[in-house]
Structure 1
Amino acid sequence: MASNAGEEESTVIAIDSDRNSLHAVKWAVEHLLKKNASCTLIHVRTKTLYSHDFEVIPKQGRLPTEEELHQFFLPFRGFCARKGIVAKELVLHDIDVSNALTDYIIDNSISNIVVGASRWNALIRKFKDADVATSLVRSVPETCTVHVISKGKVQNIRPAGHSQNISNALSKSLKGIKGSFQSEDLNRYNIKEIEVATNYFDNALKIGEGGYGPVFKGVLDHTEVAIKALKPDISQGERQFQQEVNVLSTIKHPNMVQLLGACPEYGCLVYEYIENGSLEDRLFQKDNTPTIPWKVRFKIASEIATGLLFLHQTKPEPVVHRDLKPANILLDRNYASKITDVGLARLVPPSVANKTTQYHKTTAAGTFCYIDPEYQQTGLLGVKSDIYSLGVMLLQIITGKPPMGVAHLVEEAIDKGKLQEVLDPNVTDWPLEETLSYARLALKCCEMRKRDRPDLRSVILPELNRLRNL
């Protein structure tokens, strides 16, 4: 879908197989769309795909399969056609439905989204704090109107242009943090200092956005810093804030981003500013940044593994990151790697950290495509869960490709003796024998079962260090 779609095309209807999706489509057709207008029906797939299903899923989504057409789209297609509405059909992939829809809305300048009110169904039980309609009301940009439909009637409308002052909203959502913030190693800032440092959360100073909230560049104590601000009313926000403080205030490592301070009353976290931004942006050459040479890529891979091993060897309890991906690796001016975003991290009892019977956690968290499939299915968490995410990222470092299906792509290329064809073409001097060794190691990290993945300390890191020192 092009982002410059006509005005009539800037309406999205989120659909699933529940009755409220039917109500949402009917309401949109009867009250929002004119005859001969068009809209986009979007279903977000949250289940893991088998690697051979699709090689690459573009961020803009894909056409539905035959099975998905019958399950989700055909009833709505016919209804729209009878009313003279052209319905485009799209499937997005993400473990977080509202996050996928929000990204699509932002990328395509969507002005209306219609969604059925959430019900206590299997999806809600699986992701206990997931309420898609409520999350959308909170997260979509103020240029988009959210229409929440229940049983054919409008349950809630958040009109375009409606937004909360970030400071006021944060204040209401984080009352519990103030009393729980305890760290002698961190600077404590008040909201006035944070507002001045970010020019009152000026969008021109915004340098990133994560699940936790936006990140702004600023200056505090005459030092350039990155300030992460909690999204208003984010579910689990208080726990993520406290976890980030707990993990980063007690550990220091050259391959971990340094937390400098916090404003607990408003859920703001202050980090060292890392000049070259994220590995994701540099791999995909955002803003036309130069290609990363293969030697630097091998160095980055080795440093990520070094930082991860440090987390996994933390005493008295290993730390499992749970959200390793290129967007959470920052690169300084010398392209040294630093792991960030430990808000989803979990402490795992050392007695079970490496066993097949892993520490049990109820709900899988992380980013779709990087989540350990065994953890996603069972909720059983251990350090090997991070190894799967590491494997996907290692493959992206040499291919420069999106995560969806990258393991299948590389495995197939190796089997055919054509690895060079899937390596990042911007690098013209890949050392093929060593890169093949690297790719095979990364594929082992992507094994479906935890027990089949190699050990980080004794297998993965020594090999990555060998390649780094070529």
Structure 2
Amino acid sequence: MWLAREQTDKKGGNGLVAVAIDKDKGSQNALKWAIDNLLARGQTVVLVHVKLKSLPSTPSGPSPRKDLDTKELFLPFRCFCTRKDIQCKDVLLEDTDVAKALIEYVSNNAIENLVVGSTSKSGFLRTFKAVDIPSSVAKGAPDFCTVYVITKGKITTMRSATRLAPTVSPLSNQIQNKPVSRASQSEPRTPQTSNVRGLAKATNEASHKSNDSADFIRSPFTRGKGSNGRLYGEIGAPPDTDISFVSSGRQSIDRMFPSFYDNLDSGYSPRLSNTSNMDPRQSFDATPFAMRLVDGNTIREVSSASHISQESERSYSSSSPTTDDMEAEMKRLKQELKQTMAMYSNACKEALTAKQKAIELQHWKLEEERRIEEARMAEEAALALAEKEKAKSKAAIEAAEASQRIAELEAQKRINAEMKALREAEEKKKVLDALVQSDVRYRKYTIEEIETATDYFSASRKIGEGGYGPVYKCYLDHTSVAIKVLRPDAAQGRSQFLQEVEVLSCIRHPNMVLLLGACPEYGCLVYEFMANGSLEDRLFRRGNSPPLSWQQRFKIAAEIGTGLLFLHQAKPEPLVHRDLKPGNILLDGNYVSKISDVGLARLVPPSVADTVTQYRMTSTAGTFCYIDPEYQQTGMLGVKSDIYSLGIIFLQLLTARPPMGLTHHVEREIEKGTFSEMLDPAVPDWPFNDALGFAQMALKCSELRRKDRPDLAKVILPELDRLRSLAERSINPSSPRCNSSNSSNYSQVSLQLSSMSPPRLGESHGS
């Protein structure tokens, strides 16, 4: 009420307060704020509503429904003012511009304070549908008017006046000259009747004051009676527009204590006074505080018992002198109301406490259920985890048992392998002893003879170094020989020594090196001496030796193929060399090539050799870049394993280059058409076409897959015989062409001992 006191303290001004209203909540908040801050008890507030004016094409009178809606708009505001002991004046304006209508009305009637309600900071009355009306009104209002914009019961905008409002206003004159209602002149009869009568008076004043004003709207309610004389029709403001709920924030106490008011009205007379012809129930029917009579049961609705008390006091004071009985009755009623309100407050507190406890119990129950559910889920998870761990431990036990069984099997296999190795060692020893004692297939030399011939293994006699020992040149039986000595530390070389003795002592071929004798006790082999050394030395011209001509190279290739075919066609089982390379191809004084170092040769079963398949070996052997890739990966040995090594030797005969990546380089140069650059430049007169065909055949021999390599007897040797014939014709053009069939027959000539076949490894030989 500080603003109200401030207005009364001002000197000058008329103190008029106007509130712009509509159907929204903001108007109710604006009126409440104005009553609390700008108005005092008994003052008058002007309620202004602007109705948007439409421009119809044909003139017509106002619609009754619209008039009724407008009247119902003011009703809750008048009732609220009546409860607050505030007089109100209703003003209805009609214009096309809301802000303009409000400004003109304020200017014409010298309104000192204008309160405008807003539902939000950016909006005004929803019916007006404009967001700039508050600011427009604040800007356009006259300088003597203070404009308040209220949102949610608080001031959002305030434009203060710069000068005092005129003290004389037509509106203030109308308010001061307003006639007094007849209901205020009636005399009370009983205390109960006086309460109702005060309510009727307040309501009647709210519904009939300012009747002389053209913009006043009367109460729209109608009354009617049924056949039994009871009230059956009542009209009130809708619950959502009842301003009585704004001030208190709770339901009216008349709805909380209906029995109290039933007892209060139990003694009414059918008339309020002799001067009034209004039925009190009809008077209540004309207000939102209606009394209902249904089937003899009386239900009365009063908006506020305190309001009734205040109206009753005003009614008593205005209509008749106050008596002691009436004052006592009023005090009693006030005391009862106070006690009832206290009881209701206690009941509400107890209900809220009980509700809070119920909510807490419900929360506790939900929390306990959640904990129980979590415990149950945790138990299930623990059980599942235990089952899983149990299954894992069972699987681990089974895996351990299986590992133990595997370890036992491996141990047994190792024991068996060791026993087998011991048996093989014993058998080899027996074979060696038998060879020493009774083998007559080769000449046996004593160690003394070999020492004498080599000058006790003098370094001057050494002509080379083999894979398992040195090689010495000397004379035995007036013949030049080469003696290969096995080193004592070459454990694997002893088995190869025995293998070479076994093979070379049983076969004879012009292109196989000749074994003259051996000293088995000390691991010495005696070969015929090859004057021109190995093919590797001659290709790379070690010792400044002259280069090999292309005729010699074609002849050497044919001789190597012939000797290899002899090994593959050996009876009863084929022999696979496994270590064919230029270092194991020896050349005699006439450059006749012979295959040596057959210590790695293996016998292949006839069924395997005939079907051109493989024979499984436990370990691979050979020289890198010459060994068959498929044999190296799988351990499957076959006669075509030597074909791969033969192809690499043929490419080296053409190029005189190292074997590393040689097939790739040759193939790339052939594709580019620059194969001539790959040929050995030491030979100037290569027959290019024949050399190219020879290289292509060598590439087929060095295919990675064994099945893609050509057959030695059917494909490779016919081409090699043709190249050898070409070389012979170029040397001696008058010599007849060599028949390939005769050459093939010659290549298969075997100079084996009469009726002697190559024994299997590990067999002993009789005398």
User: How does 1:44-123 map onto structure 2 within 5 Å?
Assistant: none
1:336 to 571, 579, 592: 592
| Cα separation, 2, equivalents of 1:202 and 1:253 | 32
TM-score (norm 2): 0.38
Matched, 1:418 2:667: no
The answer (yes or no) to whether the contact 1:177–1:267 under 8 Å persists in 2 is: no
What is the CA-CA distance between 1:204 and the residue it aligns to?
1.6
Structure with bigger helix share is 2
Q: Aligned-pair RMSD on alpha carbons? A: 1.7
The counterpart of 1:393, out of the listed 649, 653, 658, is 649
Specify which of 429, 435, 442 is matched with residue 698 of structure 2.
442
Task: Supply the distance in 2 between the matched residues of 1:213 and 1:451 (Cα, whole angstroms).
Answer: 37
Change (3 A) 1:428 1:393: same
Secondary structure (helix, strand or coil) at the match of 2:625 reads: coil
Partner SS for 1:281? helix
**CA shift for structure 1 position 249:** 0.7
Aligned to 1:264: 520
The letter for the 2-side match of 1:318 is P
> Which of 616, 621, 624 is the matching residue for 1:368?
624
Query: Pick from 440, 451, 457: which aligns with 2:707?
Result: 451
1:319 aligns with 2:575: yes
| TM-aligned CA deviation for residue 385 of structure 1 | 0.3
CA distance in structure 2 between the aligned counterparts of 1:335 and 1:262, rounded to whole angstroms: 26
The 2-side partners of 1:356 and 1:189 are apart by 40
Structure 1 residues 77-123: Cα deviation after superposition (integer angstroms, max 9, x where no partner): xxxxxxxxxxxxxxxxxxxxxxxxxxxxxxxxxxxxxxxxxxxxxxx
**Percent identity at matched positions?**
66
Structure 1 residue runs of 5 or longer lacking an equivalent are 1-124, 129-173
Deviation at 1:178, TM superposition (A): 4.4
CA pair 180-385 structure 1, distance change in 2 beyond 3 A: farther
Determine which of 168, 179, 184 is the counterpart of 2:433: 179
Could you tell me which amino acid in structure 2 is paired with residue 395 of structure 1? L
Aligned to 2:376: none
Question: Letter of the aligned partner of 1:289 in structure 2?
Answer: S
Separation (CA, whole Å) in 1 of partners of 2:633 and 2:458 = 41
Once residues 572 and 432 of structure 2 are traced to their aligned partners in structure 1, the CA distance between those partners, rounded to angstroms, is 27
- Deviation of 1:237 after TM superposition, in Å, equals 2.3
CA contact (8 A) 1:356 1:450 kept: no
- Which structure carries more relative contact order (alpha carbon 8 Å, separation 6+)? 1
Whether the 8 Å contact between 1:177 and 1:265 is mirrored in structure 2 is no
Preserved CA contact (<8 Å) 1:328 1:340: yes
For 1:251, the equivalent position in structure 2 comes to 507
C-alpha distance 453-248 of structure 1, shift in aligned 2 (>3 A) = same
* CA distance in structure 1 between the aligned counterparts of 2:657 and 2:694, rounded to whole angstroms: 16
Please say if residues 225 and 271 of structure 1, whose CA atoms lie closer than 8 Å, have aligned partners that are also in contact.
yes
- 1:217 match: secondary structure: strand
Describe the superposition over 1:19-48 as per-residue Cα deviations: whole angstroms up to 9, x where unpaired. Answer: xxxxxxxxxxxxxxxxxxxxxxxxxxxxxx
- Matches of 1:254 and 1:277 in 2, distance apart? 16
Shift of 1:214: 1.1
Give the AA of the match of 1:442.
Answer: A
Equivalent residue number for residue 164 of structure 1: none
Cα displacement (A) at 1:405: 0.9
Kindly tell me: are residues 458 and 356 of structure 1, through their superposed partners in 2, closer, same or farther at Cα, counting changes over 3 Å?
A: closer
Alpha-carbon distance between aligned partners in 1 of 2:452 and 2:665, rounded to the nearest angstrom: 48
Q: Which amino acid is the alignment partner of residue 223 of structure 1?
A: T
Partner of 1:306: 562
Deviation at 1:183, TM superposition (A): 3.3
Alignment equivalent of 2:530, drawn from 274, 284, 303: 274
Q: Distance in 2 between matches of 1:308 and 1:356?
A: 15
Residues 304-341 of structure 1: per-residue CA shift (max 9 Å, x gap): 00000001000001010000000000011111110000
SS at match of 1:226: strand
Structure with bigger gyration radius: 2
CA shift for structure 1 position 201: 1.2
Residues 612 and 639 of structure 2 are in contact (CA less than 8 Å); yes or no, is this contact kept in structure 1? Answer: no
Which ranges of structure 2 fall in alignment gaps of 5 or more residues? 1-413, 418-427, 727-767
| Off by >6 Å, runs of 4+ in structure 1 | 174-177
Q: Tell me by how many angstroms 1:397 deviates.
A: 0.6
* AA matched with 2:492: Q
Cα distance, 1:180 vs. partner?
A: 4.3
Question: What is the CA–CA distance in structure 1 between the aligned matches of 2:460 and 2:430, rounded to whole Å?
Answer: 31
**The one of 295, 299, 305 aligned to 2:551:** 295
User: Structure 2 CA distance, aligned partners of 1:453 and 1:232?
Assistant: 40
How far residue 185 of structure 1 moved from its aligned partner, in angstroms, is 2.2
Q: What is the number of residues matched between the two proteins?
A: 299
Distance in 2, matches of 1:346 and 1:175, equals: 20
Give me the whole-angstrom Cα distance separating, in 2, the residues matched to 1:409 and 1:201. Answer: 44
Q: Is the contact made by 1:257 and 1:338 (CA closer than 8 Å) also made in structure 2? A: yes
1:272: how far off?
A: 0.4
Q: 1:221 aligns with which of 460, 463, 477?
A: 477
Pick the aligned partner of 1:203 from 426, 441, 459.
Answer: 459
* Number of the residue aligned with 2:636: 380
CA distance in 1, matches of 2:557, 2:540: 16
SS in 2 for 1:353: helix
- 1:175 Cα offset (Å): 7.4
